Structure 1
Amino acid sequence: MKKLKTRLDAFSDAVIAIILTIMVLDLTPVLKDSAADYLLLSKEIGVYIISFAFVANMWYQHATLFNEIDDMSYRIMLYDFVFLIPLSLTPLATNMMAENTTKITVTAYGLLVGITGACFRLLARGVIHFQYTDTSKMRQVYHKVFGQHNLIYVLLNLVLIVLAYFFPQIILWFYLPYPLVYLLLSSRDRQQMYDVAQLTTNQRQQYLRLPRDQMKQFRQLVETQKAANGTEAVRSISAKPISWVRWLDQPIGAGAGKSGGHLDAEAIRELRRAQWDEFERLAKHQKTAQQQAADEREAQQDAQKAAARQAKKERQRQLEAQKDAAEQAAKQRDRDQEAQEDAAKLAAKNIERQAKAKREAAKQEIKIQERQQKAKRKADRKDAKALIRQKKLAQKAKRYDSDNQDDQSPK
């Protein structure tokens, strides 16, 4: 089966080479000098570069995936054929998109990219299941390492497909960085898978329990290792990862040293396990430091809470004192108000008594005046009667005198 695996590698390489050849042959040559024809050729070349980057990335992913196994199963062979079917349709989709860039052709190209990526992930899962047993935990490691990035690829492709239906001319060029990002992230994920494969079963179980930030720290620790006489000294768990330029210049392969030397499989295995022990030691030290910092923060928080409680109690005492003072002031105001009300009532009663006395005095004065007027009227009546009697007496006397004079006159 090892020979058949080699033949399958050669067959896959041949199919991919033919795919690239067909794509370049589909380019329309310029037979007459025309600006429009040269612009059309430039567009076709741009679309060809997009598809070339995608197919070349698929070749790299396929080559590195099959490089991890020495044998294969019928499942892997079947999955490889299933993967090559949509990949072989790339020249057709590329030619359609270059000749007639519409929402249908760009969307169809995006669907083909998504189907091809899904078939490759199916093939990768088959290789992982063939290479590792269930007890090795490597299947779980594969899902943990590749799972998030695979989800990112799927979501990114779905977004591009949806947008391609509305903006095909623009989304067309967004398919160019897609394989480059895929290449960078998948290469790191595959290197991380290889590094974890060198660990013991117990160490893999511990690795599976790591959160993603600590997984990144372990990867950074491995990337920043320094080769020295077949062994490598670890700098720090928080060291910076290698730069983009250094990543481009480093040898391809899990067994390559960062300084250009190469280690055998056993040395790499021992190195990775030693690095994991160092990572655990540093992680424990970091955890201890974090725990101490957390304890200090907790103590500070407790002190702050105690101070806050004391301040709260002091505020409560002050509020209670202010409340008592306010109550006392309110009571004093009530007493003052009651005293003022009592004084006002007493003053009102005094005023009322004075008014009543004045009214009684006025009544008495009126009665006295009435009696005086009555006595005056009575006296006036008596005087009038006396005057009338005097007048009557005077008249009588006058008549009497006249009668006497008549009697005394001679007859």
Structure 2
Amino acid sequence: MSKGRLEAFSDGVLAIIITIMVLELKVPEGSNWQSLKTLIPKFLAYIFSFIYVGIYWNNHHHLFQAVKRVNGKILWANLHLLFWLSLMPFATQWIGETHFAKNPAATYGIVLMMCAIAYLILENLILKSEGEDSKLKEAIHYKFKEYFSIASYTLGLATSFFYPYLAIGFYYLVALVWLIPDKRIEKLLNKD
């Protein structure tokens, strides 16, 4: 099966997610700089969520550049990932509106963790589809970043009910790890 439609659909959904997030930023009533102060938590939540969606788009793009074919399982796994990513606008708005309160911080962490799990499932199904002797399997044989992400989200989720700002720190530590596209796939793509 061709991967082109999957990539185009995914790109469209991610673009809509970012659009929904930015539409949640409302213009303040005043015209002075002080009136923007109330938007700081919402804007910070938007920035971090935008970065996260960008990271997923970037790594999704790189992953599918190395994929030769897709099947029904991969299509469903991709939809699973897009489902969790589509909850980012909700989690972003709630965490921004409440100034990073406990329950919204936990919800944000759950969404991030489920995105990471969904990406790992997608990656595993792609590797299985590509075969044991594929170059992609060779490139992604060690999954430190994937498991580090899930562990960090778990720590963040556990601390969110007591120290929500510490939880946010765990969440954004993961973003720093993933900011640079997956070098394993970069090396693979540069060989061809």
TM-score normalised by length of structure 1:
0.43
Mark the CA change 1:33 to 1:140 in structure 2 (over 3 Å): closer, same or farther.
Answer: closer
Q: Give secondary structure in 1 for the equivalent of 2:7.
A: helix
Residues 50 and 173, structure 1, Cα contact 8 Å, conserved in 2: no
Matched, 1:145 2:126: no
Matched, 1:61 2:82: no
Report Cα offsets for 1:104-156 as digits up to 9, x if no partner: 00011011100001001100111111112x4x28687466422x332222211
Out of 137, 151, 157, the position equivalent to 1:155 is 151
Q: Distance in 2 between the 1:21 and 1:140 partners?
A: 34
Mark the CA change 1:122 to 1:58 in structure 2 (over 3 Å): closer, same or farther.
Answer: same
Aligned equivalent of 2:74: 76
Aligned equivalent of 2:183: 188
Once the two structures are TM-superposed, the CA of residue 177 in structure 1 deviates from its matched residue by 4.0
Structure 1 unaligned spans of 5+? 195-252, 256-264, 266-411
Mark the CA change 1:150 to 1:174 in structure 2 (over 3 Å): closer, same or farther.
Answer: closer
Once the two structures are TM-superposed, the CA of residue 7 in structure 1 deviates from its matched residue by 1.4
Q: Distance in 2 between the 1:44 and 1:153 partners?
A: 24
Aligned equivalent of 1:254: 190
Q: Give secondary structure in 2 for the equivalent of 1:157.
A: helix
- Report which structure shows greater RCO (CA 8 Å, sep ≥6): 2
Mark the CA change 1:138 to 1:128 in structure 2 (over 3 Å): closer, same or farther.
Answer: same
Matched, 1:165 2:101: no
Mark the CA change 1:25 to 1:139 in structure 2 (over 3 Å): closer, same or farther.
Answer: closer
Once the two structures are TM-superposed, the CA of residue 70 in structure 1 deviates from its matched residue by 3.2
The count of residues paired between Structure 1 and Structure 2 equals 191
Once the two structures are TM-superposed, the CA of residue 182 in structure 1 deviates from its matched residue by 1.9
Residues 87 and 116, structure 1, Cα contact 8 Å, conserved in 2: yes
Q: How does 1:193-272 map to 2 (within 5 A)?
A: 194=188, 253-255=189-191, 265=192
Q: Give secondary structure in 2 for the equivalent of 1:254.
A: helix
- Specify the structure having the higher radius of gyration (Cα): 1
Mark the CA change 1:21 to 1:72 in structure 2 (over 3 Å): closer, same or farther.
Answer: same
Across the aligned residues of Structure 1 and Structure 2, the Cα RMSD in angstroms comes to 2.3
Report Cα offsets for 1:48-81 as digits up to 9, x if no partner: 1100111100001111111112321111111111
Q: Give secondary structure in 1 for the equivalent of 2:70.
A: coil
Q: Distance in 1 between the 2:45 and 2:169 partners?
A: 8
Residues 66 and 136, structure 2, Cα contact 8 Å, conserved in 1: no
Q: Give secondary structure in 2 for the equivalent of 1:176.
A: helix
Residues 107 and 161, structure 1, Cα contact 8 Å, conserved in 2: yes
Q: Give secondary structure in 1 for the equivalent of 2:190.
A: coil
Aligned equivalent of 2:107: 108
Mark the CA change 1:188 to 1:143 in structure 2 (over 3 Å): closer, same or farther.
Answer: closer
Q: Distance in 1 between the 2:163 and 2:33 partners?
A: 25
Q: Distance in 2 between the 1:167 and 1:66 partners?
A: 38
Q: Distance in 2 between the 1:174 and 1:149 partners?
A: 14
Mark the CA change 1:121 to 1:89 in structure 2 (over 3 Å): closer, same or farther.
Answer: same
TM-score normalised by length of structure 2:
0.88
Q: Distance in 1 between the 2:30 and 2:169 partners?
A: 27
Q: Distance in 2 between the 1:178 and 1:117 partners?
A: 10
